[in-house]
Structure 1
Amino acid sequence: MTDIAARCIREQPRFKGIFQNKGTFERRVRLASPTMHSDEKTFINQAFDEGFTGRNIARLEKEAAEYIGVKHAVAFNSGTAAMHMAVKLAAERLYGSAAAVPISGGLGTVGALQGKRVFCSDFASSTMADSIVSEGGEPVFVDVSDEDWSMDPEVLEIAFQRYPDVKLVMMNHAYGFPGQIMKIREICRDHGALLIEDASESLGAKVHGKQTGSFGDYGILSFGSDKIITGSVGGMFLTDDDYSSKKARSRASHSRAAAPWRQYEELGEECRMSDIVAGLILGQFQHLDEHIAKKRMIYERYLEKLDGDTMYMNPVGEGTEPNYWMSCMTCESNILFQETRSEREYTYTNQHGTASPMEIYDALEAFNVESCPVYKPMSLQPVFRNYDQITLDGSKREYAEFDQEGFWVRCDVAKDNFDRGLCLPSDIKMTGEEQDRVVEIVRSCFD
């Protein structure tokens, strides 16, 4: 946003009082940023002193496994790498190959999921879909529930009715608010499918007292720079399966065999976590409960001051304890506000009594506050839009055959969330006074 555009917004009558009385934020109010403590230095210095022996990595893996409640945790250099490994290992269990499919001339680039469909959440980052496609698979996007913004079990059943041959399901817990993972797991078992649980945003969140990341055949954690605890980078592969743990650890280290020389008997890659990053995360781990408590306070403050007739906060599912990583709001029905989006641009019309997500986004930016739209569904992304999507109204491909008739509007919760949703500042360093000013700006958008 240019300075001129920001000034024009601040000088609108509805914001003028806020600007004249308090001005803009001198320090940018962030969406989510790292919060460091002194413990990180202790573990990092230990790694320097000992010469990167891997002690931090081993301790982190042990603590993560114990905390989540699984037998094994394997540290990776990113959550994306851990997710990709989970997909490869699932392919091996299901179809007999994890590295690549033999083609003429030896091992080629044909992926382990070649020609296989995989169900994954539509309302998520691209990590799951990227991992599927990079292994030659075909993602089928499953719509989410408006009760928790994660994969809808009823829609998953519909998906299995259309594609009964699918044997792999991948779901996430959107923004740290757990989904109906127990129902999803039961459906997977009924259909003989493996489940990869993406808990990259939900570390510390629980479902009926049990940690997310422990329900799937494989679980994934992320320690990216905006996560609830961070190493700036880093991820974790979780499982109770001894064989998968051993294979993940080996393949993440170039699959080097136990020989005096460098012996390679299958394909591998170098994607293990460093001892320095592990030290950062270990220091952060000591403060996880503290971070969750602060995130919860932020969410509850928004809930008290914003949730109502025109704005709604992201829902908490029954029997769940979120980690409240990201507080999100949705505006009232987009029938009432006027906003248009192309692939990269947007326009909106100011209307008294209502506001669009991007209108609020611009207003916050004008006051030096960071926010962002909620996930754009994978089924709407240019790179993935040719793949099928399932909602309560069935297959997108089936609907397209009747769309010319225009006799019904297709249910699509993920798209509705995107049309109406915005992630609000959820940084645990944000003060109560700063959050109150954020709330004041948001509420003024509706004047």
Structure 2
Amino acid sequence: MTPTGLRGRIRLSAPDVGRREEQLVVEAVRSGYVAPLGPMVDAFEAEVAARCHRRHAVALSSGTAALHLALLEIGAGPGTVVIVPTLTFVATANAVVYVGAEPFFVDCDRESGNLDPELLERCLAELEAEGAVVAAVVPVDLFGRCADYTRLVPICESHGVPLISDAAEALGSAHAGRPAGSFGRMATLSFNGNKIMTTSGGGMLLTDDEVVAERARYLSTQARQPTVHYEHTEIGYNYRLSNLLAALGLAQLERLDEMIGRRRAIRQRYARLFDGRAGVRVFQSPADDGDNCWLSAIVVDPAEAGWSSDELRLVLDAHDIESRPMWKPMHRQPVYARARSLENGAAERLFADGLVLPSGSALTDDQIAAVSTTVDEFLDERRGMG
């Protein structure tokens, strides 16, 4: 029987925090900088900017806030279109709606799940032909795999459209020798509780433009004018990261490479587990040398495998092991039922046949063994039924 009850439910990607995080948070509390802003924020911004090869970083309350400010700065608004991958978390699309722009969803390639460059080229050409104003293209680095910026950047440049990189899932990853977050006019990161590293909740806007960075800082602190009283000439937002959470982020950043290594080891274990099993592959593997392996997933061909991803999900759930399908495509979300899209069917197939497995660096060896045993038992049973 598969072991259960190991530290409760086995989660996909629980926060990985320890004594160093506690030490720096206590240090921040004792410093007196408990309210937003302070020396930990400054240090966190500087270290993330250096890690991502950017001149400036602005620490914010979420990755969604970073996307919102980036789109505002780029000039997205009513009467403009922003191209977004359909295979993404809803925040990417929601930020487009926040600024009053129209999200246009474009499908992915089957192997990486990232924005399909050929479809992007076609989409831009069609929008140009109809006279639409495309404010930005926002590729997403899915599950820590950088989008194909080698192809995407020249396409955007040839059409005169800015690129904003949604690297929320990809801190620590790389493409063509450059780190995630270094691509595009601006880039955004997320430090949500389930990400590769966390500040509990938080995010960051990355840019090489000092004016853009200062504008983001201004808008993220309620657009307060530099006067002795509270003066406001435009609408701002309460988007800044607190000094306490920045302390947590600094400790996590120290351990980032270690945590990536742990996640990579888990993905490699899944690769061995499913090796030779008909009709199933580990998603984004083996060409994942530059990935942070944030989430590991499998893709199942039910006709060949003799079982479906949902059948395995139900068995894992019965053993108190969390798993879930990949992102439901945005063009199939009820809230975006009227949005325009350009599809090739890849995102829908990945949603139907993909399954995300426990991937967090905080997983113990016993927990990973429990997942492996449960999967092995499931596969053996299905083989016996065949």
TM-score by length of 1: 0.80
Distance 1:358 1:84 in 2: 34
1:187 aligned residue (155, 161, 171): 155
CA distance in 2, matches of 1:356, 1:258: 60
Report the identity percentage.
Answer: 32
Q: Does 1:389 align with 2:358?
A: no
Q: Tell me the secondary structure at the aligned position of residue 299 of structure 1.
A: helix
Q: Which stretch of the first structure deviates more once superposed, 315-324 or 144-153?
A: 315-324
The residue aligned with 2:11 is 30
Decide whether the 8 Å contact of 2:6 with 2:366 is kept in 1. Answer: no
In structure 1, which of residues 277, 291, 296 is the aligned counterpart of residue 245 of structure 2?
A: 277
Name the residue aligned to 1:9. Answer: none
Q: CA RMSD in A?
A: 1.8
Matched, 1:239 2:207: yes
- Match for residue 116 of structure 1 among 61, 69, 80: 80
Flag the 1:241–1:427 CA change in 2: closer, same or farther, 3 A: same
Q: Where does the alignment leave 5 or more consecutive residues of structure 2 unmatched?
A: none
For the 8 Å contact 1:74–1:248, the answer to whether it is kept is: yes
Residues 314-361 of structure 1: CA distance to partner in whole angstroms, max 9, x if unpaired? 1148686000000001111x5x29xxxxxxxxxxxxxxx622222111
Task: State how 1:429-444 maps to structure 2 within 5 Å.
Answer: 429-444=362-377
Equivalent residue for 2:30, pick from 38, 42, 49: 49
Take 1:291 and 1:317, find their aligned partners in 2: how far apart are those partners?
Answer: 19
Q: Do the aligned partners of 2:4 and 2:320 also contact (CA within 8 Å) in 1? A: no
Amino acid at match of 1:429: A
What is the aligned partner in structure 2 of residue 209 from structure 1?
Answer: 177
Whether contact under 8 Å (1:25, 1:367) holds in the other structure is no
Q: 1:445 deviation in Å?
A: 3.3
CA distance in 2, matches of 1:433, 1:279: 30
**SS of aligned partner of 2:104:** strand
1:81 is matched with which residue?
65
Partner of 1:413: 346
Paired residue for 1:323, among 292, 298, 305? 292
Q: Contact (CA 8 Å) 1:177, 1:316: kept in 2 or not?
A: no
Match of 1:220 among 188, 191, 206: 188
Indicate conservation of the 8 Å contact 1:118/1:167, yes or no.
Answer: yes
Q: Determine the C-alpha separation between the residues in 2 that align with 1:422 and 1:319.
A: 18
- Which residue of the partner structure matches residue 65 of structure 1? 49
Alignment of 1:339-358 (within 5 A): 354-358=306-310
1:273-312 matches, cutoff 5 A? 273-307=241-275, 308-312=277-281
User: Which of 119, 135, 138 is the matching residue for 2:99?
Assistant: 135
**Counterparts of 2:29 and 2:288 in 1: how far apart (Å)?**
44
Q: Is there any run of 5+ residues in structure 1 with no aligned partner, and where?
A: 1-17, 92-111, 338-352, 392-410
- More off after superposition, 296-305 vs 175-184: 175-184
Structure 1 or 2, whichever has the larger Rg, is 1
**Would the alpha carbon gap of residues 23 and 271 (structure 1) be closer, same or farther in structure 2, given more than 3 Å must change?**
closer
Q: 1:30 to 1:319 in 2, by over 3 A?
A: closer
1:74 is paired with a residue whose SS is strand
Paired with 1:31 and 1:374, the residues of 2 have a C-alpha distance of 12
CA displacement 1:109-144 (0-9 Å, x = unmatched): xxx511211111110001111011122111111111
Do structure 1's residue 145 and structure 2's residue 109 form an aligned pair?
A: yes
After superposition, give the CA deviation of every residue in 1:219-258 in whole Å (9 maximum; x if it has no partner). Answer: 1111100011111100000001121111000000011111
* Secondary structure of the corresponding residue to residue 30 of structure 1: coil
Contact 1:175 1:324 in 2 (8 A): yes
Q: Matched residues in 2 for 1:371 and 1:169: separation?
A: 31
**Partner SS, residue 111 of structure 2:** coil
Aligned to 1:94: none
Q: Does 1:313 align with 2:297?
A: no
Give 1:382 deviation, angstroms. 0.5
Kept after mapping to 2: 8 A contact 1:167/1:191:
no
Q: CA separation of 1:434/1:319 partners in 2, compared to 1, >3 Å: closer, same or farther? A: closer
**Distance in 1 (alpha carbons) for counterparts of 2:288 and 2:156:** 20
Does structure 2 retain, via aligned residues, the 8 Å contact 1:37–1:283?
Answer: no
Residue 445 of structure 1 aligns to a residue whose secondary structure is helix
Q: Which residue pairs with 2:233 in the alignment?
A: 265
Q: Give the equivalent residue in structure 2 for 1:158.
A: 122
The separation in 1 between residues aligned to 2:375 and 2:127, in whole angstroms, is: 43
* Match in the other structure for 1:401: none
Where 1:118 maps in the other structure, the secondary structure is strand
CA contact (8 A) 1:208 1:319 kept: no
Instruction: Give deviations 1:33-86, integer Å, cap 9, x for gaps.
Output: 011122222322222222116010000000010110001000001111111111
Give the whole-Å Cα distance in 2 for the aligned partners of 1:318 and 1:161: 31
Contact 1:221 1:237 in 2 (8 A): yes
Q: Which residue is 1:423 aligned to?
A: 356
**Which residue in the other structure is 1:374 paired with?**
326
Cα gap change, 1:381 to 1:280, in 2 (>3 Å): same
Q: Residue 23 of structure 1: CA displacement? A: 5.8
Q: Given the alignment, which residue of 24, 28, 40 partners 2:21?
A: 40
